[in-house]
């Protein structure tokens, strides 16, 4: 009993439709061998980024708690930890896209393979391949759009990107396990690097096998295999050079010509990148007039900005680093969080819940850990680069904690509630 004809219909399901002389198991193995460690590192930095938000504390969780894996008490040292992690995650993600597309190009005849389903096992494999290809592209597209503040979807980016990564990574590990014998055979037969030594004149198709990736009637090569890797490398290098500046900062920032945070903003003390302006957060001058910090704990207190400025102030150079991958290091001056904890009679507090004057939004509050309160460099900052904070940077006072994700460095702080 046969539902489909034995011979494929004319078109891409016929092996003769495909002509590229470079397609073959070795090429796909080589592209995959570069892509695999890159995706693992992207996954690792992604999960670290999730852990950096301390989602188990207070109302920090954005992702439903069933997704909390690989959590640990996020450290405060080195202070550039989150900036480096997130810069790597975003810049590497952008950089690796051409490699992902080349890998998918190398196997596209498989999509149209005939018969579409050979067995139950084959059907399950194709189902997980949809998770691999669709999930992978989904994670890349959402991440890349987020890095340029473009949100054409109705769902929460963090939740979708996070769970998309689960599907992508899970199906990728399975895929590599299934394909490992074929990869090893390709390397054993063709050599790991040997095909890359061949010039265009020496480039030959891999041997044809029925049902394989090599076309039965390949066209004459017009590029060598190393030429193909060169094309991918040139695209990746260009993407890297034109985006890494948003994370590194300094003179390189000007090279990030397509990034929203690529421009230099000026030379004033408050002329550095803003995640969300006061106007957008609906924090008005009226809202900050007659401001008092609401300090809660065993000994509650209300402190004016002048009260805070009369306390023992500390100054530290610390980065602001955003989930979008950009970061900037500035010199912050303010009151140590541990001094404020002591003032509230809450020395050694387990956590502090920080709330903003900002009336709405998921990040109008954040909860910090004991280690973050206790770090000598964790500040309720009042000044930046020896000047008062501007409204956009969180006047009258904002949190600055080393290695903390940018949005948890709450701006326009209204209250600090120390919890034992």
For another protein, the binding residues in 47-106 under the rule CB under 8 A are 64, 66-67, 94, 97-98, 101, 104-105
Interaction between residue 118 and another protein (CB under 8 A): yes
Give φ, ψ of 418 to 5 degrees: -85, 130
d(CA 226, CA 118): 35
Give least dist CB 188 to another protein, A.
21
C-beta closer to another protein: residue 58 or 131: 131
The kind and range of the H/E element at 352 are strand 351-356
Q: What is the 3-state secondary structure (H, E, C) of 269-333?
A: CCCCCCCCCHHHHCCCHHHHCCCCEEEECCCCEEECHHHHHCCCEEEEEEEEECCCCCEEEEEEE
Report how far residue 34's alpha carbon sits from residue 196's, in angstroms, rounded to the nearest whole number: 14
Binder of another protein out of 152, 181, 211, 285 (CB under 8 A): 152
Answer for which of 4, 72, 111, 317 binds another protein (CB under 8 A) is 111
Which lies closer to another protein via its Cβ, residue 10 or residue 152? 152
User: What's the min distance (Å) between Cβ of 118 and another protein?
Assistant: 6
Dihedral over Cα of 137, 138, 139, 140: its sign: positive
Write down the least CB distance from residue 319 to another protein, Å.
17
**Count of chain residues binding another protein (CB under 8 A):** 82
β-strand pairing of 327-336 with 379-384: antiparallel
Q: Considering the complex, state which of residue 81 and residue 97 has its C-beta at the smaller distance from another protein.
A: 97
Residue 136 or 297: which CB sits closer to another protein?
Answer: 136
Report in angstroms how near the CB of residue 143 gets to another protein at its nearest: 10
Note whether 247 and 253 are within 8 A (CB).
Answer: no
User: Which range binds another protein by CB under 8 A, 145-153, 335-343, 366-374, 375-383?
Assistant: 145-153
Q: In the window 293-352, what residues touch another protein (CB under 8 A)? A: none
Give 51 or 167: the residue with its C-beta nearer to another protein.
Answer: 167
Q: Which of 120, 188, 286, 289 binds another protein (CB under 8 A)?
A: 120
Which lies closer to another protein via its Cβ, residue 199 or residue 290? Answer: 199
Q: How far apart are CA 340 and CA 211, in angstroms?
A: 69
Q: How far is the CB of 310 from another protein (least distance, A)?
A: 31
Nearer to another protein, 47 or 418 (CB): 47
Q: Which residues pair with 212 in a beta bridge?
A: none
Residue from 198, 226, 276, 292 touching another protein (CB under 8 A): that is: 276
How near is the Cβ of 283 to another protein at its closest, in Å?
13
For 408, phi and psi rounded to 5 degrees? -85, -10
Closer to another protein at the Cβ: 64 or 268?
64
Q: CB 121 → another protein: shortest distance, Å?
A: 3
Interface with another protein (CB under 8 A), residue from 119, 267, 290, 360: 119
When the beta carbons of 217 and 376 are compared against another protein, the nearer one is 217
Whole-number Å distance between alpha carbons of 241 and 327? 16
Burial class (CB in 10 A: 0-12, 13-18, 19+), 42: buried
Residue 320: is it exposed, middle or buried by C-beta count within 10 angstroms (0-12/13-18/19+)? buried
Region 178-207 residues binding another protein, contact defined as CB under 8 A: 178, 200-201
CA 177 to chain centre: 25
- Which of 32, 131, 297, 402: binder of another protein (CB under 8 A)? 131
Contact set for another protein, span 154-183 (CB under 8 A): 154-156, 159-160, 163-164, 166-167, 170-171, 174, 177-178
Cα 311 to chain centroid, rounded: 38
**Residue whose C-alpha is closest to residue 133's, from 162, 168, 105, 182:** 168
Give the CA dihedral 48, 51, 52, 53, nearest 10 degrees: 140
Give the β-pairing of 365-369 and 379-384. Answer: unpaired
Q: What minimum distance in Å lies between the beta carbon of 243 and another protein?
A: 8
Peptide bond into 78 cis (omega under 30): yes
Q: Which is nearer to another protein, 122 or 302 (CB)?
A: 122
What is 173-203 written as a DSSP string?
Answer: HHHHHHHHHHHHHHHHHH-SSHHHH--TTT-
Residues 215-274 that bind another protein (CB under 8 A): 219-223, 227, 230-232, 234-236, 238-239, 242, 257-258, 260-263, 265, 273-274
Instruction: Give 293's DSSP letter.
Output: E
């Amino acid at each position: 009993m046969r539902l489909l004809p034995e011979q494929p219909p004319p078109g891409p399901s016929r092996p003769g439709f495909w002509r590229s002389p470079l397609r073959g198991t070795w090429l796909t193995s080589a592209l995959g061998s570069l892509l695999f460690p890159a995706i693992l590192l992207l996954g690792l930095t992604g999960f670290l980024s999730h852990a950096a938000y301390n989602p188990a504390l207070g109302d920090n969780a954005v992702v439903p708690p069933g997704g909390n894996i690989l959590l640990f008490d996020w450290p405060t040292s080195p202070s550039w930890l989150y900036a480096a992690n997130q810069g790597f995650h975003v810049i590497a993600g952008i950089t690796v896209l051409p490699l992902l597309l080349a890998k998918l190009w190398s196997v596209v005849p498989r999509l149209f393979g005939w018969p579409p389903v050979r067995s139950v096992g084959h059907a399950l494999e194709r189902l997980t391949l949809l998770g691999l290809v669709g999930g992978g592209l989904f994670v890349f597209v959402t991440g890349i759009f987020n890095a340029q503040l473009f949100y054409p979807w109705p769902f929460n980016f963090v939740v979708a990107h996070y769970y998309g990564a689960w599907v992508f990574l899970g199906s990728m590990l399975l895929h590599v396990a299934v394909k490992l014998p074929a990869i090893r055979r390709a390397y054993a037969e063709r050599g790991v690097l040997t095909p890359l030594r061949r010039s265009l004149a020496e480039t030959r198709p891999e041997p044809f096998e029925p049902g394989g990736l090599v076309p039965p009637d390949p066209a004459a090569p017009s590029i060598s295999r190393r030429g193909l890797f060169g094309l991918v490398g040139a695209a990746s290098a260009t993407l890297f050079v034109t985006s890494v500046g948003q994370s590194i900062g300094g003179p390189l920032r000007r090279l990030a010509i397509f990034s929203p945070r690529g421009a230099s903003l000026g030379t004033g003390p408050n002329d550095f990148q803003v995640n969300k302006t006061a106007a957008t957060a609906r924090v008005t001058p009226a809202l900050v007039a007659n401001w008092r910090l609401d300090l809660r704990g065993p000994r509650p207190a209300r402190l004016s900005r002048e009260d805070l400025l009369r306390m023992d102030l500390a100054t530290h150079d610390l980065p602001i680093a955003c989930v979008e991958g950009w970061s900037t290091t500035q010199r912050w001056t303010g009151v140590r969080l541990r001094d404020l904890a002591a003032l509230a009679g809450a020395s050694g507090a387990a956590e502090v819940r920080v709330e903003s004057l900002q009336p709405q939004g998921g990040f109008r509050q954040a909860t910090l850990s004991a280690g973050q309160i206790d770090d000598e460099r964790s500040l309720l900052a009042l000044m930046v680069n020896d000047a008062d904070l501007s409204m956009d940077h969180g006047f009258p006072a904002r949190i600055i904690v080393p290695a903390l994700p940018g949005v948890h460095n709450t701006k326009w702080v209204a209250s600090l509630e120390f919890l034992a």
